[in-house]
Amino acid sequence: MWLGEEQFEFFEGILFQTLGSPIEVLEARFLSGGDINTAAQVFSSEGLFFVKWNSADREGMFGSEARGLDLLRSAEAIHIPEVIGYGHYQDKAYLILEYIDPVAARTDYWESFGQSLALLHSHTQPKFGLSFDNYIGSLPQSNTPTDNGIAFFIEQRLHPQAGMAFYKGLIPKELFDKFPQLYQRLPDLLPNERPALLHGDLWSGNVMVNEQGNVALIDPAVYYGFREAELAFTTLFGGFDDRFYDAYDETFPLEDGFKERIPIYNLYPLLVHLNLFGTGYLSGIERVLDRF
């Protein structure tokens, strides 16, 4: 769908505000995908841009996304779109990124993807978390730096989302009361590996093929956490090609028993989806708690 004159004025305004000189917008069109923001492909006298926007109170969300993209890009492990700028203009918040124009994937796309993600995960720091909080979808995500990865997973991932779901009436009390029992078992169930730099919201909807036929990642929820949690997340909505997982494991081998641990890690994205989209995700949470 092509955009009208009012949107052109908005795009020219934010590009001028970001780049500091008048830029003519030649064409623009809406892009599908995403449940939170509005997005467009913008053709201008200075090239092609990806722009997404929302109400002005979402500027903090775009700011944390920009910082996350910059952090991932600085790892030089995988293609992350360049941040052109973000801010607010009139009554809207916006984020301007490099536009990724996809082509057909290379024949070694999945192997290269697995190797690149393993390289990203090799980046570490002393503590779990991050120096700033951010969002997963539209939900706040706390990243307070924590020494212990299992404590981080409990206190800043599972417990806040479970509590939100309980207070919203999405989880009955008898189910909510099972979470502390799981927390007690986690030190015996999960390997306490060093913190790994994670994309944080890695599923097929946030994966693209770039102009060279290689992988590019968008829409992160960045933090340093358990790399197994990232790989588990990739399996939640259909999973990736087996060549991806094989190449990852060859590059950065996983501890034995990873597949049995996947449901535990996926409690977090299931809780997030429960809080965002409703009780259709409740049965998956019940199965995990009943099992462990």
Structure tokens at 91: 């009554």
Annotated catalytic residue within 70, 108, 201, 290: 201
Q: Is 55 helix (H, G, I), strand (E, B) or coil?
A: strand
Closest to 53 in 3D by CA, of 5, 23, 15, 27? 15
φ and ψ of 89, to 5 deg: -145, 125
CA torsion 242-245-250-251 (nearest 10°) is: 140
Structure tokens at 226: 């358990």
125, 259 in Cβ contact below 8 A? Answer: no
The reply to whether 201 belongs to the active site is yes
Tell me whether strands 92-98 and 139-141 are parallel, antiparallel or unpaired: unpaired
Closest to 205 in 3D by CA, of 30, 32, 33, 31? 33
Positions marked catalytic:
201
